[in-house]
């Protein structure tokens, strides 16, 4: 079994005010990046809910960042902060020493492996760090493409949502090339609060899926509790308060509960991505013949939520699928 160890970068970092890393930027941007502990140009592919704040934190820390996104307009706020632009993933990879990718799903592997993909710009001495949530099969596929060029590959999916991404408080679940892991550690520490190195490619992806499988089921269970409490005449806000003081307290419940009661689902973690993670976790269970009935049931509810047009809402909108089920059963 792969060895896992946790490093607490908070203890090793130089200048922090609150939760943000501050780097003296008196000289050139690459000097400032050297202050972070990384020398070289950093590429960033994928500027969605997570990628944009992660890239932004690297720029704020003084790194020399080049960005690309399929929908080009999403690059604009980063360019205003000082990022450079390349018109293809291959262009980013060839002009940078290390390239990060924060993309939606296994289908997005084309960004690394397709025409004009990052692999085309890779070469010995360069590194590719995939921070997207995908399954181990996809991650190994991307790894093979990248390493066939002589470059190094690290998978590093993150735990933590939009706010932790903005605050530089993500948890990195890394696996793959250990020397690349050590090389990019200062960059991970700008974007995150902790990092695990889990050994061979696939272990980071798998860890992320296990964690998100638990999270997806927890959210469904919470939604059931909120709806049931209303049905039996309890105040769901009091239920949230009671939960927050007991053994099953979780930041997720306190954070999402109050807006769920108001039927508001401002997107931090898109529901379509939670359903993707459950789908991939179920495939993982299938691969090792492990029944995961609770996650399977939760997955069905997220699928219903998607069919109700809630794919781009926050995953807490899964409660609307339950409400629809209740309505149907009463007709
Ligand atoms: N949001 C969250 O709380 C968290 C998300 N994650 C994971 O991180 C990843 C990104 O999530 P998030 O930022 O929320 O997602 P978004 O949907 O906001 O962003 C997805 C990104 O992937 C790009 N993309 C999607 N498909 C393709 C494709 N076929 N080719 C090229 N680019 C593509 C999008 O480009 P375009 O702008 O053109 O659509 C966009 O840049 C996902 O794997 C998610 O599961 C992990 C932890 C937390
Ligand atoms: O993947 C989602 C998260 O919150 O972590």
What is the residue-wise DSSP string for 271-329?
HHHHHHHHHHHHHHHHHTT---HHHHHHHHHHHHHHHTT-TTSBGGGHHHHHHHHHHHH
DSSP state of 268: S
ipTM: 0.99
Ligand 2: centre distance to CA 149 (Å)? 31
Ligand 1: centre distance to CA 111 (Å)? 12
State the pLDDT at residue 33.
55
User: Using CA positions, which residue lies closest to atom 1 of ligand 1?
Assistant: 269
Cβ atoms of 201 and 297 closer than 8 Å: no
The Cβ of residue 214 has, within 10 Å, a number of other Cβ atoms equal to 13
Most informative mutation of 45, 47, 50, 160 for ligand 1 (most atoms within 8 A of CB): 50
User: Using CA positions, which residue lies closest to atom 25 of ligand 1?
Assistant: 104
Most informative mutation of 48, 68, 130 for ligand 1 (most atoms within 8 A of CB): 48
State the pLDDT at residue 35.
66
Ligand 2 atom with the smallest distance to the CA of 212 is 1
**Spatial separation of the C-alpha atoms in residues 151 and 24, rounded to whole Å:** 31
Per run of 10 residues, the mean pLDDT along the chain (length 331 residues) is 38 34 35 73 98 98 97 98 98 98 98 98 98 98 98 98 98 98 98 98 98 98 98 98 98 98 98 98 98 98 98 98 89 75
CB neighbour class for 17 (10 Å; exposed up to 12, middle 13-18, buried from 19): exposed
| CA dihedral sign of residues 161, 165, 166, 168 | positive
* Ligand 2 pocket, CB under 6 A: 159-161, 212, 269
Ligand 1: centre distance to CA 49 (Å)? 7
> C-alpha dihedral over 304, 135, 9, 251, to 10 degrees?
20
Active site residues: 208
State the pLDDT at residue 34.
55
**Considering only CA atoms, which of 170, 231, 214 is closest in space to residue 195?**
170
Most informative mutation of 273, 312, 313 for ligand 1 (most atoms within 8 A of CB): 273
Instruction: Specify the pTM.
Output: 0.92
Ligand 1: centre distance to CA 268 (Å)? 11
Ligand 2 atom with the smallest distance to the CA of 211 is 5
Cβ atoms of 165 and 143 closer than 8 Å: no
Cβ atoms of 241 and 254 closer than 8 Å: no
* Ligand 1 pocket, CB under 6 A: 46-51, 69-71, 74, 102-105, 107-108, 110-111, 132-133, 158, 161-162, 268-270, 273
State the pLDDT at residue 328.
87
State the pLDDT at residue 5.
38
Write phi, then psi, for 127 (nearest 5 degrees).
Answer: -135, 150
Q: Which ligand approaches the C-alpha of residue 73 most closely?
A: 1
């Amino acid at each position: 079994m792969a060895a896992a160890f946790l490093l607490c970068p908070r203890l090793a970092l130089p200048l922090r005010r609150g939760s943000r890393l501050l780097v003296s930027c008196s000289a050139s941007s690459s000097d400032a990046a050297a202050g972070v502990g990384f020398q070289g140009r950093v590429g960033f592919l994928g500027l969605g809910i997570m990628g944009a704040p992660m890239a932004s934190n690297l720029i704020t820390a003084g790194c020399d960042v080049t960005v690309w996104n399929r929908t080009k307009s999403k690059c604009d706020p980063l360019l205003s902060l000082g990022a450079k632009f390349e018109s293809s993933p291959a262009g980013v990879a060839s002009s940078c020493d290390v390239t990060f990718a924060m993309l939606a799903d296994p289908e997005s592997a084309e960004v690394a492996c397709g025409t004009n993909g990052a692999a085309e710009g890779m070469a010995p001495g360069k590194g590719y760090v995939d921070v997207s949530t995908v399954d181990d099969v996809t991650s190994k596929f991307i790894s093979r493409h990248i390493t066939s060029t002589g470059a190094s590959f690290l998978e590093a999916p993150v735990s933590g949502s939009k706010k932790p991404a903005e605050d530089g408080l993500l948890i990195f679940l890394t696996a793959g090339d250990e020397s690349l892991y050590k090389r990019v550690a200062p960059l991970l520490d700008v974007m995150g609060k902790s990092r695990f190195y889990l050994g061979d490619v696939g272990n980071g992806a798998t860890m992320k899926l296990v964690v998100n499988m638990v999270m997806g089921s927890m959210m469904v269970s919470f939604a059931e509790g909120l709806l049931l409490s209303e049905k039996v005449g309890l105040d769901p806000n009091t239920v949230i308060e009671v939960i927050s003081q007991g053994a099953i307290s979780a930041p997720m419940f306190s954070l999402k509960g109050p807006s769920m009661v108001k039927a508001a689902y401002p997107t931090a973690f898109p529901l379509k991505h939670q359903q993707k993670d459950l789908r991939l976790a179920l495939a993982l269970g299938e691969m090792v013949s492990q029944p995961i009935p609770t996650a399977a049931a939760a997955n069905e509810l997220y699928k219903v939520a998607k069919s109700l047009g809630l794919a781009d809402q926050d995953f807490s909108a899964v409660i609307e699928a339950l409400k629809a089920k209740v309505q149907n059963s009463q007709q």
